[in-house]
Structure 1
Amino acid sequence: MQAFDGPEALSAALGQEIGIGEWITVDQTMIDRFAEATGDHQWIHVDPERAARESPYGATVAHGYLTLSLVPRFIAGVRRLEGLRLSLNYGLDRVRFPAPVIVGARLRGRVRLSAALPVPPRGLRVTYAVTVEIDGQERPACLAEAVVLHQW
């Protein structure tokens, strides 16, 4: 985990990969809880028996938005911002889901700092380019640019 002690230190990492996170397993309980929270109960996510019979994947798959919702967790897992007062999600850019996340898959985030714009006073609007990797697969589950406003 990299530590940054202010906007200048974080800005200095512009264009660099700042870390690769730990693997997490996407199990059926996680998928079901996400379905409950969002109201998205499509069978391909929440019905293992039907998914085994009818899905092209032979099992349930995670919601794309569940995968996307893990992006802040992956970012937080690779960097620490010393003395930070506040962080706010500012938005997302260029989100894609190249490969499905089949139940039981392990995911991790590869995080690169792709933009850093000063926001006075002592703030920085940062774009983290995150590749959500699936263990044992070449194609990623998600590619997203998460834009975050940090204030020191």
Structure 2
Amino acid sequence: MTKIIPPAEIAEMVGTVVGTSDWIDITQERVDRFAEATGDFQFIHIDPEKAKLTPFGGTIAHGFLTLSLIPLLTEQSDCPRPLGIKMAVNYGGNRTRFLAPVRVGKRVRGQFKLLEMEEKRPGQWQQTMEITVEIEGEAKPALMSEWITQFFV
């Protein structure tokens, strides 16, 4: 169950893993729809027959598709949410690394470690999370990112 608590209480959790998301299926349909949305039609993403001939052995998700799942993974997680939130916006990232390909047919989930939570001005909080997108059954994660979100309460 998601906790809704004052932002100052979230700030007390800095340095800890504050949540994990549900698993999300990476289907060929999801990958194809992302290709349509972005215009990235590289064969390793959309052509299962050609992709079988690569070291991946089949199609893989776009790295940016995996990164773009962060809002969904966050929404489906048990991370604490700021009390009285009026709006949240993506502010950017400090670092993002794509560490392993996500093969179509796999599932991914997010693990969230709070690195920073500070009040920038009254009612405006900035949160930095280390987000690890794990691939079910694999030791190496798909990506790690320090992601910054601003909350307005």
How high is the TM-score relative to the length of structure 2? 0.94
**Paired residue total:** 151
Q: Which residue of 2 aligns with 1:17?
A: 17
RMSD (CA atoms): 1.1
Aligned to 1:73: 72
SS of 2:95 mapped into structure 1: strand
CA distance in 2, matches of 1:144, 1:11: 19
- 1:145 aligned onto 2:146: yes
3-state SS of 1:35 partner: helix
**Helix, strand or coil: the match of 2:131?**
strand
SS in 1 for 2:117: strand
Between the aligned partners of 1:113 and 1:99, the Cα distance in structure 2 is 23
Q: Matches of 2:84 and 2:42 in 1, distance apart?
A: 43
Contact 1:109-1:131 within 8 A present in 2 as well: yes
The separation in 1 between residues aligned to 2:116 and 2:109, in whole angstroms, is 21
**SS of 2:44 mapped into structure 1:** helix
Gaps of 5+ in 1: none
In structure 2, C-alpha distance between the alignment counterparts of 1:104 and 1:48, rounded to whole Å: 12
The superposition leaves residues 8-28 of structure 1 with CA deviations (integer Å, 9 ceiling, x where unpaired) of: 121111111111111111000
